[in-house]
A = this chain, B = another copy of it.
Amino acid sequence: MRVADLTTPALLVDVDALEANLSDMATALPGSRMRPHVKAHKTTALAARQAAAGHTGFTCATVREVEGMAAAGLGQDLLLANEVLDTRRLGTLVSEGARVTVAIDSEPTLRAAVDGGVAEVLVDVNVGLPRCGIAPERAGWLADRARAAGLTVRGVMGYEGHLMMLPDVAERARLTQECMARLLAAHADVGGDVVSGGGSGTWAMNTWVTELQAGSYALMDTAYTAAGLPFRQALTLLATVVSATDATGDMPAFAVADVGLKSLGMDHGNPTVVDGQVWFCSDEHTTFGPEGPIAVGDRVTVLPAHVDPTVALHERMHLVRGTGPDAEVLDVWAVDLRGW
């Protein structure tokens, strides 16, 4: 199959860009120094490539992601880096042989781990992002409570998510150090081997964690590219021009591609159309001003602004070598970790 044969919208993964991203990260943070976050691609076939690159532990955001990874034979060391009140499905996985660790930041989440049959936890610490995480000075208390309840506390996690896209890289590094100081202070009280945190935006500067929870680096998006990351844009969305209108009066020429709010995560704003200027997106359309001649039926390449919610809208992604309509489709990967 060639790219020209695909029905659009179609997610394409440039295999050379993907492999370069995985290789570069595995060189910088080999093996267990990296715990790839699957929420950014929701695809066990892609996770298998990350495992082949040497990373045996994975980070998940949902129970479904943990289940899917275990079912795909990638359940050697799965961290649900999120708080959940019902861990029974996780407990089932543990009883079936998967290693599952869950984040806790409160008594109810601690109790949920016990009740559901999850034996290992990390204490999630608020390092500055107002989201989940216990205050650093209370982390030791929660760890004591967890151990008293029979849980194994493997260590701490803390995510400096508010820093990932700070334009000033020096400031990003300075604030990352501040956040990680909070995490290390908590770790001193909590104990355990694991200090988990970080992401694609701080991969090169977060030297304090024992394992980095990066996800976006594998496929990338325009927001992370703008933040100066060295990884290549491996994920693109193939679209077809379904309508084109010539310039009239004071209205310049515009064209319409068959991708929109149903195929693109929009929280980071509009996508980028290669050789075009995006005007706006509708449910199934992106209206754009083309930078050159364009005709109905032409294929255009669209770069998502935010990879995570984009992949969550797709059933599959297509592994491709090369560019253009004659590029070969090497494989079709199910985006099999969607839902909850």
Contact = CB atoms under 8 A, between A and B. Distances in A.
B131 A285 contact: yes
Contact of A243 (B83, B161, B240): B83
Nearest to A244: B106
Interface in A87-112: 105-109
A12 interface: no
Interface stretch (A145-153, A178-186, A261-269): A261-269
A245 interface: yes
B267 A308 contact: no
Contact of A84 (B105, B133, B242): B242
Given A7-B86, A133-B243, A340-B8, A308 B261 contact: yes
Given A254-B130, A266-B265, A267-B261, A243 B309 contact: no
A261 B254 contact: no
Contact of A106 (B62, B267, B296): B296
A9 interface: yes
Interface of A is mostly: loop
Nearest to A162: B280
A42 B314 CA distance: 15
Interface in A257-278: 258, 261-263, 265-267
A84 B297 CA distance: 9
Given A85-B296, A281-B267, A283-B39, A312 B309 contact: no
A291 interface: no
Contacts of A285: 131-132
Interface in A292-329: 295-297, 306, 308-309, 312-315
A279 interface: yes
A314 to B, nearest CB: 8
Interface in A59-91: 61-62, 82-86
A190 interface: no
How many copies the complex holds: the figure is 2
A256 interface: yes
A135 interface: yes
A126 B245 contact: yes
Contacts of A340: 7-9, 263
Nearest to A295: B108
B83 A132 contact: no
B106 A309 contact: no
A287 interface: yes
25 contacts: A7-B340, A39-B262, A61-B284, A82-B258, A82-B284, A83-B242, A83-B258, A85-B297, A106-B243, A106-B244, A106-B296, A108-B297, A109-B296, A130-B279, A130-B287, A131-B243, A131-B282, A132-B243, A132-B256, A261-B308, A262-B308, A265-B266, A283-B308, A312-B313, A313-B313
Given A130-B254, A135-B245, A265-B266, 15 more contacts: A8-B340, A61-B284, A62-B284, A82-B242, A84-B242, A84-B258, A105-B243, A108-B297, A126-B245, A130-B251, A131-B256, A131-B282, A132-B242, A266-B267, A312-B313
Listed from nearest, the 8 A-B pairs whose CB atoms lie closest are: A83-B242, A132-B243, A266-B267, A108-B296, A261-B309, A262-B312, A61-B284, A106-B296
